[in-house]
Structure 1
Amino acid sequence: MSSSGIQIVQKLWNYCSVLRDDGMSYGDYVEQLTYLLFLKMADERTKPPYNQPSPIPDKYSWPSLLKKDGDELFDHYRHSLERLGNEKGLLGLIFNKSQNKFQDPAKLRRLIVDLIDKEDWSAMSADVKGDAYEGLLQKNAEDVKGGAGQYFTPRPLIQAMVDCVAPKPGDTICDPACGTGGFLLAAHDYVVKHNPNLTKAEKKKLKQETLKGYELVQGVVRLCAMNLLLHGIGSQDFEPVEAADALASDPKDRFNVVLTNPPFGKKSSYTVVGQEGEVSKERETYERDDFWATTSNKQLNFVQHVKTILTVNGRAAVVVPDNVLFEGGAGETVRRKLLHDCDVHTLLRLPTGLFYAQGVKANVLFFDKKPASETPWTKKLWIYDLRTNQHFTLKTNPLKREDLNEFVKCYNPANRHDRKATWSEKKPDGRWRAYPYDELVARDKASLDIFWLKDESLEASDNLPDPDVIAQEIVDDLEAALEQFRLIANDLGPAATNQAE
């Protein structure tokens, strides 16, 4: 992050501790900042050199807030949020169902006058603004109690996945479970960085037609829209993110690149409130003609959905938990169909300790969608094991981009058909090797849960990791087991109830 970005985060974040005493959570704080930043930037854009018309009605604009104080400011702020939430386009996306979470008008006034009004946000480079907001989202994700971490994928992992998939100018890019927009931003930045001579028309297309995200939770949609906007993506006429359950139906749109980390675990169905205020239950299972199997396993559904929304020869990188690799029933059906109908070419086994959801054992599955064929498209699956004998934690030893350097080099984005294994019988500790299609489908349930490295912690006791690492691994394993039991309990729940009746 740039030094000016760090300074702004520090300033805005220090003020959060003042508001914490008032009972405001980290998440509420970032949300209130979002509303105020949007209003301030809309006002800045009306002045030279931009001279753009403001989407905000004068009555609710930034100067209208600056003029007021005390209870009058409070009432006006509340009315402004309410009114703007009923607007269409990006305004509605940012302000939908917004509420004032301040308890004290003096603290709201100080944030407006001393912190936000003092900066010229539009003149600030997108990197600085974007970095500042990303920094706040990261801090919010670290607040374990708030649960925001489930919408935040570690940025080094995102960068490595994007480096492998290597989006090009003209590619359309989608994340069907976009959280705060990390994959979309990284893909945008990759295209800009690797193509310094984009024309004006190409730049406009990249910012206004290329990226599309879907997110179920309205509050997260808001944060994502603001995150993208601060990076220069989106406008009143183009909403890069949609508040929707991506799994509900085939959107009919197709994309060249899909990058996603769908939510882990299967929550029992919960209430979803649509933008018009209509209430529905999120479904347990999705009956879709384009799916190979009907299942309540959300991750399997996301894998099937990603296959649907890819163009032919489109490229996907999807974070999936271990159960997608070995689960029987629908899991086996999906794996066999995926291996046959797509080119499933790479699997990255991730270490534990990367995600805010405790105990998650996850992988990244890379595959290309292919045209219909009688013969299977997957010839061999290359697997990189970054899990065995690797120990990461969110705080003391977080994953860094360089930890994935060897994987990206082995993946060989320039020509992934030219790869060399680092494992051989003479080099048994190599982390990169390939398995042919016939061997994969001959395995029990066509399981892709494959490992070959010796786990050092099972060797001599003098080679054991530190006690805190062992303790964390035990916690992770127990959490993962509990999650599996929850899934089983959820699946048994209705049946057990029916029998009791």
Structure 2
Amino acid sequence: MTPAAIVSKLWNFCNVLRDDGMSYGDYVEQLTYLLFLKMADERTKPPYSQPSTVPGAYSWPTLVKKDGDELFDHYRHTLENLGNEKGLLGLIFSKSQNKFQDPAKLRRLIVDLIDKENWSVMSADVKGDAYEGLLEKNAQDTKSGAGQYFTPRPLIQAIVDVIAPKPGENICDPACGTGGFLLAAHDSLIKNHPHMTKVELKALKEGTFKGWELVQATARLCAMNLMLHGISGLESDLPLTVADSLAADPGERFDIILTNPPFGKKSSTTIVAEDGKIARETETIERDDFWATTSNKQLNFMQHVKTLLKQNGRAAVVVPDNVLFEGGAGETIRRKLLHDCDVHTLLRLPTGLFYAQGVKANVLFFERKPASETPWTRRLWIYDLRTNVHFTLKTNPLKRSDLDEFVQLYAKPRTSTWSAENPAGRWRGYDYADLVARDKASLDIFWLKDDSLEDSDNLPAPGILAAEIVEDLQAALEQFRLIAEDLGEEIVEEG
């Protein structure tokens, strides 16, 4: 069965459950619990014959044998008890709840859909791609907010292609969402290094990857995604920590960091003051390893990534536009980053890529270097994939081929495609002296003419134009939101 066929089969059943009030996110979560139990049972049988990680009283066969209210009660108790376990079981089932309204529909999902497939014998590509398909469909449901944890896969693939991980390197995502960067790096290593030794393959499965995710429900999806793709397994601990990665320096250092940190400043964190009263968390983080103290989460992630890198380690970080031009702490951090690291590449992304609306983003590539009196950044190369480029999530989505030119130009030696004779060239280098001489050392640099401003005949389609206006307005609102929160105003969400 192909990934598309499995996704279609599982997703069609979701539409039945939607009539009972179950959201897309709830469905994917319930599916995660049941898939885990089914695969754990499969691993106890030949050729695996492994002891089960699931207590016998809550194993898959106990669910298959029951029906009606008895099944409903047993499923609820199963989730509650497994959520109290430690390790992998606790990670998957923590705070889990039965979201089904109808016992007959729960039984149909168990018996007719999940039990009829042998998930363990499916290749990691098939079941992993199927689960990724479900996560992407969930991200498309903009009301759920799940899109903020889902980075477009063609963009991830291009980033991993230019970073080019090698066997023996360890790879981290300190804000891993559903695990897209870790999975793409894993696939790249398998594809481009088919003759890895047994030692390298063992390290690939057990010691190469590390992720942090703040939101428990998202971490659960990430854990299942990693397992289905063959990164670690049911019998071993996953390389995933459910925590705020910004809270402290973990002490670990990595060869490669690939990440799309959360935009905005929303947090579920609360703090208890010395007098025992609950205080509002301002999210101002003070760490000795940071260059500047700020409540801007994206600027803190930039500093955190710098800390996590080994000497000569390389990073690719998705950042919103404000990280490129914001003053105060932003200017301090940019100047220090340009001096202490080799900030060599900036990819300006078009609008219409992200399910989280109002996002104007870029990818910043840099390497950490040893202490030096002279700056490590010699020249920043910028690829402008934004000006006169229009994507939408449904009618004209980004494809990996749209990034082919960037991937080719990223390789060294580098030559500018922009010149006086070719003013439409999208690839251009700027020397360090030019960068630090700019107001606030702003990296928000563009040189291409916007065709729509020059000639009304070149305006994009009305739908695209309307979507871009909406994104511009939402991006502006997000900036005002950050200013209001910095001034201590509580923002009340409607709906």
Q: TM-score range by the shorter chain?
A: over 0.9
Note the 1:138-287 alignment, pairs <5 A. 138-235=136-233, 236-267=235-266, 270-271=269-270, 284-287=283-286
CA distance in 2, matches of 1:99, 1:303: 36
Partner of 1:463: 458
One-letter identity of the residue aligned with 1:484: Q
Relative to structure 2, which stretch is displaced further, 141-150 or 227-236? 227-236
List 4+ stretches of structure 1 deviating above 6 A: none
Partner of 1:387: 386
- Asked if the contact 1:384–1:407 (Cα under 8 Å) also holds between the matched residues in 2, the reply is yes
- Asked if the contact 1:130–1:231 (Cα under 8 Å) also holds between the matched residues in 2, the reply is yes
Partner of 1:405: 404
Relative to structure 2, which stretch is displaced further, 347-356 or 487-496? 487-496
Q: Residues 65 and 281 of structure 1: is their aligned pair in 2 closer, same or farther, counting only changes over 3 Å? A: farther
Out of 81, 84, 91, the position equivalent to 2:82 is: 84
Note the 1:370-385 alignment, pairs <5 A. 370-385=369-384
- SS of the aligned residue for 2:487 comes to helix
CA distance in 1, matches of 2:100, 2:279: 30
Relative to structure 2, which stretch is displaced further, 219-228 or 471-480? 471-480
Per-residue deviation, 1:461 = 1.7
Partner of 1:499: none
CA distance in 1, matches of 2:168, 2:51: 30
Per-residue deviation, 1:281 = 7.0
Tell me the alpha carbon deviations over residues 360-392 of structure 1, each in whole angstroms, 9 at most, x when there is no partner: 110000000001111000000000000000000
Partner of 1:305: 304
Tell me the alpha carbon deviations over residues 277-313 of structure 1, each in whole angstroms, 9 at most, x when there is no partner: xx99765111100000000111000000000000000
Partner of 2:430: 435
Per-residue deviation, 1:234 = 2.1
- Asked if the contact 1:269–1:281 (Cα under 8 Å) also holds between the matched residues in 2, the reply is no
Relative to structure 2, which stretch is displaced further, 31-40 or 234-243? 234-243
CA distance in 1, matches of 2:379, 2:289: 25
One-letter identity of the residue aligned with 1:7: A
- SS of the aligned residue for 2:2 comes to helix
Partner of 2:367: 368
CA distance in 2, matches of 1:391, 1:152: 20
1:21 and 2:19 are equivalent in the alignment: yes
- Asked if the contact 1:268–1:490 (Cα under 8 Å) also holds between the matched residues in 2, the reply is no
Partner of 1:96: 94
Per-residue deviation, 1:23 = 0.7
Partner of 2:105: 107
For structure 2, list consecutive stretches of 5 or more residues without a partner in the other structure: 272-277
CA distance in 2, matches of 1:110, 1:462: 55
- SS of the aligned residue for 1:493 comes to coil
One-letter identity of the residue aligned with 1:425: A
1:449 and 2:441 are equivalent in the alignment: no
One-letter identity of the residue aligned with 1:254: R
One-letter identity of the residue aligned with 1:158: I
TM-score by structure 2 length? 0.96
One-letter identity of the residue aligned with 1:312: Q
CA distance in 2, matches of 1:280, 1:6: 48
CA distance in 1, matches of 2:268, 2:7: 37
Per-residue deviation, 1:270 = 4.4
Out of 119, 122, 131, the position equivalent to 1:121 is: 119
Q: CA RMSD in A?
A: 1.6
CA distance in 2, matches of 1:355, 1:495: 26
One-letter identity of the residue aligned with 1:353: G
Tell me the alpha carbon deviations over residues 214-260 of structure 1, each in whole angstroms, 9 at most, x when there is no partner: 00000000000000000111234322211000100001011100000
One-letter identity of the residue aligned with 1:211: F
CA distance in 1, matches of 2:114, 2:457: 56
Partner of 1:295: 294
CA distance in 2, matches of 1:495, 1:266: 12
Per-residue deviation, 1:493 = 2.2
Partner of 1:419: 414
CA distance in 1, matches of 2:164, 2:355: 27
- Asked if the contact 1:353–1:359 (Cα under 8 Å) also holds between the matched residues in 2, the reply is no
Q: Residues 490 and 283 of structure 1: is their aligned pair in 2 closer, same or farther, counting only changes over 3 Å? A: closer
CA distance in 2, matches of 1:232, 1:283: 39
1:31 and 2:46 are equivalent in the alignment: no
1:485 and 2:484 are equivalent in the alignment: no
CA distance in 1, matches of 2:490, 2:469: 32
Partner of 1:474: 469
One-letter identity of the residue aligned with 1:252: G
CA distance in 1, matches of 2:350, 2:208: 32
CA distance in 2, matches of 1:127, 1:239: 19
Note the 1:347-366 alignment, pairs <5 A. 347-366=346-365
Q: Residues 495 and 469 of structure 1: is their aligned pair in 2 closer, same or farther, counting only changes over 3 Å? A: closer
Relative to structure 2, which stretch is displaced further, 360-369 or 200-209? 200-209
Partner of 2:274: none
Per-residue deviation, 1:405 = 0.2
CA distance in 2, matches of 1:420, 1:472: 34
Per-residue deviation, 1:269 = 6.0
Tell me the alpha carbon deviations over residues 125-148 of structure 1, each in whole angstroms, 9 at most, x when there is no partner: 000000110000000000010010
One-letter identity of the residue aligned with 1:292: W
Identity of aligned residues (%): 77
Partner of 1:333: 332
Note the 1:38-77 alignment, pairs <5 A. 38-77=36-75
- SS of the aligned residue for 2:25 comes to helix
One-letter identity of the residue aligned with 2:345: T
CA distance in 2, matches of 1:337, 1:172: 25
